[in-house]
Amino acid sequence: MALDAHRLAADFASLLEADDDHILLAEAALTIARIEYPGLAFAPYLATLHDLAARVQSRLPHVAETRDVIAALNTVLFDEEGFCGNCDDYYDPRNSFLNDVLERKTGIPITLALVYLEVARRVGFPLFGVGMPGHFLLKHYDQDGRETFIDAFNSGRIMTADDCQRRLDEIYAGQMALQPHFLMSMTRRQILTRMLNNLKGIYLSSRKLKRALAVVDMVLAIYPRSPEDVRQRAGLRYNLGQLRGAVEDLETYLKMLPEASDADEIRQTVLAIRRGLVTRN
């Protein structure tokens, strides 16, 4: 089955019609995977998440504390199932697709966190994404409002603020200090946007422009008034020979940012494309 980017973006947008707290993350992530697997069926993967949650639930005491739930999640996901971070091929696009992560039991921080979050949700253990620079974590609030940070990429390790700083030191060679906003909870839309931006970077680096365009369409389904993404879509459309769509996006960009630093250049580009279209006709 061929990729139908317009239908895919519409399906993705329909999932975003809910309030943020009610966006179905697993279904949205599987919709993203249809960029690579257009005929992907969701049911088997949703069933896998349900089965994993049932196994976690069976390990919980009648009254479960935070540490009990985390221990049960870690036992099922990491000890029994063997989920682990893909350090050997971090930029493999399969690491960004929930179906592949569930089948291969490996992924990047955000997709492993998504599996962890979705299994935890099914046992009534609420978690929130934490978009720390360079590394995605999860956070749980207990009844007293205390925070527990969890690193799904590293077997569900509990992280302290000092641990987070050490992780930043590893990623940024000691050049980035931990800031309070690094550990703030993300909305579901923000989580999906981060997943999409990761995938977009992979597709652009491998020059898979049609797939990159499908990703940008999804980002714009989340944030339709994002000038940067509208401009990037224009560039992708232009390079794919979709000149009318490129002009439409460039003109939309100019309406959004009429005083942008590149506005004059964009106007000249629009004129040049329009002249080319007239010549073709």
Check whether residue 113 and residue 248 sit in a common domain. no
Residues 136, 265 within the same domain: no
Residue 83 within any structural domain of the chain: yes
- Please indicate, yes or no, if residue 67 is contained in any of the structural domains: yes
Whether the CA torsion 6, 7, 12, 15 is positive or negative: it is: positive
Q: pTM for the whole thing?
A: 0.94
The number of CA neighbours under 13 Å toward the Cβ of 152 is 31
The answer to whether residues 50 and 171 belong to one domain is yes
Residue 190 within any structural domain of the chain: no
Does residue 212 form part of some domain? no
Kindly report, residue by residue over 120-142, the tens digit of the pLDDT.
Answer: 999 999 999 999 999 999 999 98
232 in the same domain as 96: no
- How does the average pLDDT of the chain come out, rounded? 95
pLDDT of 281 over the 70 cut: no
Residue 57 belongs to some domain of the structure: yes
Residue 103 forms part of a structural domain: yes
Q: How confident is the model at residue 147 (pLDDT cuts 50, 70, 90)?
A: very high
- Model pLDDT for residues 193-235, shown as the tens digit of each residue: 999 999 999 999 999 999 999 999 999 999 999 999 999 999 9
Instruction: Check whether residue 246 and residue 163 sit in a common domain.
Output: no
User: Is the domain of 130 the same as that of 242?
Assistant: no
Element (H, E) at 256: helix 243-256
259 and 138 in a common domain:
no
| Full residue range of the structural domain in which residue 110 is found | 5-183
Please tell me whether residues 92 and 174 are part of one structural domain: yes
In this structure, the answer to whether residues 151 and 247 fall within a common structural domain is: no
Residues 165-191 pLDDT 10s: 999 999 999 999 999 999 999 999 999
Same domain? For 9 and 137 the reply is yes
Q: Is the pLDDT of residue 280 over 80?
A: no
Confirm whether 220 is domain-assigned.
no
> Mind spelling out the 3-state secondary structure of 190-248?
HHHHHHHHHHHHHHHHCCCHHHHHHHHHHHHHHCCCCHHHHHHHHHHHHHCCCHHHHHH
Buried b or exposed e, range 153-186, using 16+ CB within 10 angstroms: bbbbeebeeebbeebbeeeeeeeeebeeebbeeb
Total number of domains in the chain? 2
Q: Is residue 27 part of a domain?
A: yes
